[in-house]
A and B are shown apart, each in its own frame.
Chain A
Amino acid sequence: MKAHWLKTIVTTAVVLLGLSTAQKLTFWHYWDGANGQVLQGLIERYQKEHPGVTIEAVFVPGGELLTKLQTAITARQTPTMAISDLVAMPLLTRSGALAPLDDYIRQSNLNLTDYFPGPLVYGLYQGKRYSLPVSASNLGLFWNKNLFRAAGLDPNRPPRNWDELLRFAKQVKEKTGKWGLELFTQGGEGTTWQTQVYFWGAGAEFLNANNTAPAFNSPQGVRALQFLVDLVQKEKVAPVAPWGLFGRGEAAMVMDGSWMTQFFPQQVSFELGAAPFPFAPGGRPATNMGGEQIFIFQSADAATAKAAWDFINWFSSTPVQVEWDRGTGFLPVRRSVANDPAYRAWVSNARPLMRPFVDSMAFAKPRPPVARYPQISDIFAKYVQEALLGRLSPKEALERAAQEVAPLLR
């Protein structure tokens, strides 16, 4: 009899305790399709391993997530946590709505030196860290092996520097009549982020070290833009044309994203190669980088915020990130993931085209984390177009762009 009572009391106590620690977390994200399903699978497992924690993942289409976050911040109706495209992080950190993560990172002994330096640049604001990278993508070279073969080039030998890039492109043009290289010439961020790869590869910087003035109008910058203009105007191996030539087999080489290692093989009818993007002789290997960052909102009470951090900490751990990157095809944000034997084996067997992109993470550079980056990017792209069309000399185009960009950084 007594034991029975005791059992009831203990059970009730356990249930009550469970209720008092029950945490409901809302999580806004834009991971669609298969990526969303991988996330849902991970969340379900986390919930099973952590009874009392429920995570409600809310999908918001990518283009509108920032609008929805900004509306929620203004109305003080924020979720517990969310992700964002890293480009939007400067706007979000400045909103004052995010919770600093430094104390959590210290308490959990999360080793930030294991992260690639590029993605970590985002989320830092006035000496505090507000977000952590959870996925990455970057740019590299794809080439059409069939066209290389037709041009008499070794189909398994990609260009390693700009001299080879130009030489191969010319040979393709001469022997096959197809374009050597496709550039993204339609303006906007698409043009800017591809052009930045050439600039960095020539040793130029986009903005100065503390992001207070443009730096792309340096001699190295002029040299990089001159190279692009020559490809179009002088050598005529790359056209100013709508995007998509490479996919149709009309151009032999293209700079495109790591995500295309997943899509190209289903979309094109030729043999593909992928390599880190060539850089200028005497320059340095460089590429551009995208990805997502995760963060907690300040509106969460201490216990909820802690529960959200526990999930982020688990999600960021090497084994979970290995699983996440394998499921989604995102690039690793941590070296321990990139070097993980199971991950490396998966890349070699399932996604061999992705290998150069994984290797490029070590030198992937962040776009400057400034709030007005979108406007700056538009101005820069506009003048790159002017130069490519031969309306302005590279030097003049970059000087004018710098004049327009400077006031936006003050």
Chain B
Amino acid sequence: MLKPLKGLLTHLLLAGGAFLSAMPFLWMLTTALKPEIALYQPPLLFPVHLEWENFVKAWQAAPFPRFFLNSAVMTVGIVLAQTLFSAMAGYAFARMRFAGRDLLFFGVLGTMMIPFPVTLIPSFLVVNALGWIDTYNALIIPRAVSAFAIFLFRQFFLSLPRELEEAALIDGAGRLTIFFRIVLPLSTPVMAASAIFSFLFAWNDFLWPLIVTNSTEMRTVQVGLAMFQGQYGVFWTLLSAAATIVTLPAVLAFLAAQRQFIAGITSTGLKE
């Protein structure tokens, strides 16, 4: 008698939480489906209007196919580079002994405290000197490594049993073999977590891509979204329609990697 009641309460609570998380998305979707005349009506959670036209208008308002391609190239590049390089750096900080290792690690952590606008102009000067303005290089290479991901990987590697690596070492494996054949295959949860963080970062990034690109051919989806936030008022219905389209890949990526993501965050899985 008590047990089903408890289960019901738990599920009610969970449903409430799920509803709160889903609400912004519902709001976006209902706004996207509103005719402009209904803009001032109170927000609804379920679409009563079905103004699909908004999606067509939003899609045609800017060269979105090209923006999607650019965002995809940039995001894949950043995710691959950040995962690989941050894993390697994290491994070095966790397992290798060298002078000044901890100092260097704290230095890496310290960079997370420098706000982006401070490094914006110096970074731009470097990219400009390299002649990378308006290229994928400028969009990917300056963000090929992430202090946060290094931290994530280091903490995870510290929790891996050392014995596995020692066994491989005895069998004659070198550092790189150990890293690629033993450590990385055991690190899928943290790789997924790091990848989803860098995916969201790259996909949602706005200012840097805008600063280092000039031509429409090199712009990304977020810059496309900004086009609906005009100097003289925001086109909420079109913005919501475009935002729905642009958010879709991020939502799909999250759903696909959800299990690993949660495992990576809690870092359960393998413990000494």
Contact = CB atoms under 8 A, between A and B. Distances in A.
Contact of B210 (A60, A257, A268): A60
B236 to A, nearest CB: 10
A62 B211 contact: no
A371 interface: no
- Give the size category of B's interface with A: 20 to 34
A30 interface: yes
Contacts of A70: 121
Contacts of B120: 67, 71
Nearest to B216: A59
B133 interface: yes
Interface string A246-276: 0111000000010110010011110000000
A56 to B, nearest CB: 8
B207 A30 contact: no
Interface string B215-231: 11000000100111111
A269 B235 CA distance: 18
A271 to B, nearest CB: 14
B37 interface: yes
A244 B40 contact: yes
B36 A68 contact: no
A76 B248 CA distance: 39
A26 B216 CA distance: 13
B36 A266 contact: yes
A268 B37 CA distance: 6
Contacts of A60: 210
B251 interface: no
B61 interface: yes
A247 B210 contact: no
A71 B211 CA distance: 8
B148 interface: no
B233 A259 contact: yes
A248 B121 CA distance: 43
A267 B37 contact: yes
Contacts of B229: 61-63
A263 B210 contact: no
B14 interface: no
B128 interface: yes
A77 interface: yes
Interface in B135-166: none
Main secondary structure of the interface of B (DSSP, over half): mixed
A33 B61 contact: yes
Given A68-B210, A77-B133, A267 B121 contact: no
A74 interface: yes
B119 to A, nearest CB: 12
A381 B78 CA distance: 42
Interface residues of A, number: 33
B125 interface: yes
Interface in A6-65: 26, 30-33, 58-64
Given A33-B61, A61-B210, A269-B37, A75 B232 contact: no
B232 A257 contact: yes
A64 B207 CA distance: 8
Contacts of A30: 231
Contacts of B231: 30-32, 62, 85
A137 B232 CA distance: 9
Given A71-B211, A77-B128, A63 B226 contact: yes
B39 interface: yes
Interface string B177-217: 00000000000000000000000000000110011001110
Nearest to B39: A267
Contacts of B27: none
Contacts of A71: 120-121, 124, 211
B125 A266 contact: no
Interface in A262-299: 263, 266-269
Given A64-B210, A263-B233, A58 B121 contact: no
Nearest to B227: A32
B228 to A, nearest CB: 8
Contact of A58 (B124, B214, B235): B214
Contacts of B228: 32
Contacts of A64: 206-207, 210-211, 226
B220 to A, nearest CB: 12
B37 to A, nearest CB: 6
Contacts of B216: 59
B128 A33 contact: no
Most buried by B among A137, A259, A263: A263
Interface in A109-148: 137
Interface string A64-84: 100110110011010000000
A62 B229 CA distance: 8
Given A33-B227, A64-B226, A71-B211, 14 more contacts: A32-B228, A32-B230, A62-B230, A64-B206, A67-B120, A71-B120, A74-B121, A247-B39, A248-B40, A257-B232, A259-B232, A263-B232, A267-B36, A268-B37
Interface of B: 36-37, 39-41, 61, 120-121, 124-125, 128, 133, 206-207, 210-211, 214-216, 223, 226-233, 235
19 contacts: A31-B231, A32-B230, A32-B231, A58-B215, A59-B216, A61-B210, A63-B229, A64-B206, A64-B207, A71-B121, A71-B211, A74-B125, A85-B231, A244-B40, A249-B40, A259-B233, A260-B233, A263-B232, A268-B37
Interface of A: 26, 30-33, 58-64, 67-68, 70-71, 74-75, 77, 85, 137, 244, 247-249, 257, 259-260, 263, 266-269
